[in-house]
């Protein structure tokens, strides 16, 4: 199975495609939030930082109580600050 957590970029990209295809079928806010979170992780791991941040923001709109999303958002901002400071 392809996963956005894979160490292989090809598998991450296939995981992104898989989650994009199933996003519209999310029936509850928690399902939608989880899929948005996983898409954000995949986009971040594949270097699509702007898209990753957009997905994190959408995820927070759906479920602002999801701790992993808040952590990912913090990590995203911290890593971008480090990259921009070089």
CA dist 38 to 11, 12, 83, 84, Å?
A: 13, 10, 23, 25
Using the predicted structure, report yes or no on whether residue 78 has a pLDDT greater than 90.
no
Going from N- to C-terminal start, the domains of the chain cover: 9-85
Confidence (pLDDT) at 42:
93
CATH class of 9-85: mainly alpha
pTM of the model: 0.72
**Six-digit token string for 22:** 């199933």
38 HSE (CA, 13 A, CB side): 22
Please give the DSSP secondary-structure letter assigned to residue 1: -
Average pLDDT over the chain, rounded to an integer: 81
Write out pLDDT tens, residues 29-64: 888 888 888 899 899 999 998 899 899 888 877 776
Which one, of 63, 18, 27, 1, lies nearest residue 55 by Cα?
63
Which pLDDT value is given to residue 86? Answer: 47
């Amino acid at each position: 199975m392809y996963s956005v957590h894979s160490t292989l970029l090809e598998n991450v990209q296939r995981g992104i495609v898989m989650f994009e295809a199933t996003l519209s079928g999310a029936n509850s806010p928690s399902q939608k939030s989880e899929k948005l979170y996983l898409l954000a992780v995949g986009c971040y791991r594949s270097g699509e930082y702007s898209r990753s941040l957009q997905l994190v923001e959408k995820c927070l709109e759906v479920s602002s109580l999801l701790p992993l999303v808040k952590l990912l958002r913090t990590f995203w901002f911290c890593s971008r600050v480090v990259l921009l400071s070089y």
